[in-house]
Amino acid sequence: MRTAIIIDDSKTSRSILRNILEANNYEVLAEATNGEEGFDKYQELQPDFVTLDITMPVMDGIETLTKIKEFDPDAVVIMVTAAGQKQKMLEAIKLGAAEFVTKPFETGQIISILESIE
């Protein structure tokens, strides 16, 4: 698991995730600011895994997860969630999300999740 794409509408979140991933020797192939763009990038680049924000304009994380899993049932998708999104998290589990990281980001949590998907 060495290549990733980051799908998140928040520039700050994208840059924090990129820094953590790159510091741990993951290659970030692309960033996308909404689910539609993210799904296009997924099809084009077929990364080892994706970090996918739940709350985004145009196409949210749940819809994007559905499309990615339809395209590639083995896709490894790490959902990015915030407090109070339990319902969406349950939905994402049913749809096959691999793991969850919560905002605000905690480097240690992200690193242990990356180790768990290796």
Residues 9, 31, 37, 99: which binds Mg ion (CB under 5 A)? 9
Q: Determine the interface stretch with Mg ion among 23-31, 35-43, 54-62, 110-118 (rule: CB under 5 A).
A: 54-62
Number of shown-chain residues binding Mg ion (CB under 5 A)? 4
- Cα gap 42→7, rounded to integer Å: 10
Characterize 75-86 residue by residue with b for buried, 16 or more Cβ atoms within 10 angstroms of its Cβ, and e for exposed: bbbbbbbeeebe
Task: Supply the minimum distance, in Å, between the C-beta of residue 55 and Mg ion.
Answer: 4
3-state secondary structure of 47: coil
Tokens of 113: 């999740």
Closest CB to Mg ion among 73 and 84? 84
Question: Which spans of this chain sit near Mg ion (rule: CB under 5 A)?
Answer: 9, 53, 55-56
